[in-house]
Each structure stands twice: as structure tokens, then as C-alpha cells.
């Protein structure tokens, strides 16, 4: 019947999403191991907090429509690289690169693309280090490569990004010019704070 076909489609999509959930679990484990090991070896923890999110079906389909992606699983898999997303918030800018290096140096992690918005901030002031990685997920009938987007940033960058996100949504992308200028200014203040904290941290370590 038509109804059972619809249920079959739903189950099919759920099966498509499943490896992304497992990939999140795997990368979260990798990050907790790094976090615990850093704490044990160096008596300091470079990671403040970690969040993960699996894109909703709604949001995957909205992106398929918006970007004009062909409605096939292989096209969606290739074009939407942030179905599995992990955000790592670090204490200092140097920690961001330290965690990035430790994660991407692992044998089973393939780096697909890196966008360094810390070295090259976006026009609005957005800063973060984005890595699209691919890891194998071992299912009952063998391994499948799965893409995960990892965003690494400092607490100050995260603070800025969460406010910017709220403002952007509030104004439905039509943000007044003064507000945009204010946000860019705030991004510079956040970067100054990161610089200051990093140098204080270095002083404390020397003492
Ligand atoms: P959400 O709700 O976090 O998932 P694309 O992902 O293809 O649309 P692009 O340019 O290839 O876009 O990816 P990019 O630049 O790596 O950025 C993707 C994600 O980074 C966004 O996901 C945000 O999480 C974050 N991001 C990028 N730019 C900004 C920004 O200017 N402000 C804030 N607050 N976050 C940003 P989503 O899907 O937009 O949102």
C-alpha cells in the first residue's frame, strides 16, 4: 500500500542517518580520550566543553532543497558534510591547534577539508577552525567511511558566535548596518581577550 511505502522511505532515511550518529560517538570518544590524557600528562585541560549534534531530517532536507542537491543518498552524502557535527570549545587559541593536530594525526582520521577562520576570519568577524574529517564506522557488514564536521574555537569565539547566531536569526538575515559594525567590533574585543589570556597563561606556566 501507499502507506507502507511511506514507512519504508522513513526507515530507509533512518538507516542513512544511523552511521552519522555512530561517527559522532566515535569522535566524541576520541576527544574524551585526548582530554583525559592531556589532563593526566600535563595537569591541565585544554578543552572547556564539547557538544555534538546530529542534523535533523528536516534540516538535511531543507539544505538539499536550498543547495539544489540531487535527491539521492550518494549526492546528499557527498554534498552535506555537516550531518554529524561536533564543537570543541578550548581555553586558549594554542589549545585549539593542539587538539586539532592530535585529532587529525590519528591513523583512522582522514582530513577532507580545513577552513581556518581563525587565521582568516569571515567578513562578519566569525572565527573558528573547521575541519571536515572522515572516519570509518564499523557496521555489521563492514566499515563505511563517514564524514564529520568538527568546529574548534575558544570560549571567547564561542561566546561571540552564539550571540551572532541569535541576532542573525532574530533579524532573519537582514541585520542593520550598525549592528553588523558592532558585531565586528565585538569580534575584535574577543580576539584581544584571547591574546591577553594566552599571554597570561604563558606567564603563569613560566612562574
Ligand atoms: P548550524 O546550526 O550550526 O549547523 P555550509 O555548511 O555548506 O552551509 P560552508 O560555508 O561550507 O556552509 O560551511 P562553514 O563556513 O564551514 O560553516 C558551517 C557552520 O559553521 C555553520 O553551520 C555554523 O555552525 C558555523 N558558522 C559559519 N559561519 C558562521 C557565522 O558567521 N556565525 C556563526 N554564528 N556561525 C557560523 P550552519 O549549518 O549554518 O548552522
Domain ranges of the chain: 2-154
| Cell numbers linked to 66 | 536550498
pTM score, two decimals? 0.93
> How distant, in Å, are the alpha carbons of 21, 168, 205 from that of 195?
36, 27, 15
Cell 583512522, located at residue: 108
Is the separation of the CB atoms in 80 and 187 below 8 Å?
no
Q: For a substitution probing ligand 1, which of 52, 82, 169 has the most ligand atoms within 8 Å of its CB?
A: 82
Whether residue 124 has its Cβ less than 6 Å from ligand 1: yes
ipTM for the assembly: 0.89
Taking the CA atoms of 139, 103, 109 and 151 in sequence, report the sign of the dihedral they define.
positive
- What architecture (CATH level 2) is domain 2-154? 2-Layer Sandwich (3.30)
Kind and range of the H or E run holding 204: helix 177-206
The per-residue pLDDT for range 131-183, each reduced to its tens digit, is: 999 999 999 999 999 999 999 999 999 999 999 998 887 787 788 889 889 99
The per-residue pLDDT for range 59-104, each reduced to its tens digit, is: 999 999 999 999 899 999 999 999 999 999 999 999 999 999 999 9
Whether residue 82 has its Cβ less than 6 Å from ligand 1: yes
Taking the CA atoms of 126, 129, 132 and 135 in sequence, report the sign of the dihedral they define.
negative
Amino acid at each position: 500500500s501507499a502507506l507502507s511505502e511511506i514507512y519504508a522511505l522513513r526507515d530507509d532515511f533512518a538507516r542513512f542517518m544511523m552511521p552519522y550518529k555512530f561517527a559522532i560517538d566515535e569522535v566524541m570518544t576520541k576527544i574524551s580520550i585526548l582530554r583525559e590524557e592531556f589532563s593526566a600528562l600535563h595537569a591541565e585541560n585544554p578543552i572547556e566543553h564539547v557538544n555534538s549534534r546530529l542534523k535533523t531530517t528536516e534540516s538535511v532536507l531543507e539544505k538539499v532543497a536550498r543547495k539544489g542537491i540531487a535527491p539521492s543518498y550518494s549526492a546528499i552524502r557527498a554534498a552535506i558534510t555537516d550531518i554529524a557535527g561536533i564543537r570543541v570549545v578550548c581555553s586558549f587559541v594554542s589549545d585549539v591547534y593542539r587538539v586539532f593536530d592530535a585529532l587529525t594525526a590519528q591513523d583512522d582520521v582522514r582530513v577532507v577539508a580545513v577552513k581556518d577562520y581563525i587565521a582568516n576570519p569571515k567578513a562578519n568577524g566569525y572565527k573558528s577552525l573547521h575541519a571536515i574529517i572522515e572516519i570509518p564506522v564499523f557496521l555489521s557488514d563492514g566499515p563505511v567511511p563517514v564524514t564529520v564536521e568538527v568546529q574548534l574555537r575558544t570560549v571567547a569565539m564561542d561566546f561571540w558566535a552564539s550571540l551572532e547566531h541569535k541576532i542573525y536569526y532574530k533579524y532573519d538575515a537582514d541585520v542593520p548596518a550598525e549592528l553588523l559594525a558592532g558585531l565586528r567590533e565585538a569580534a575584535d574585543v574577543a580576539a584581544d581577550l584571547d591574546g591577553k589570556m594566552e599571554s597570561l597563561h604563558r606567564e603563569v606556566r613560566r612562574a
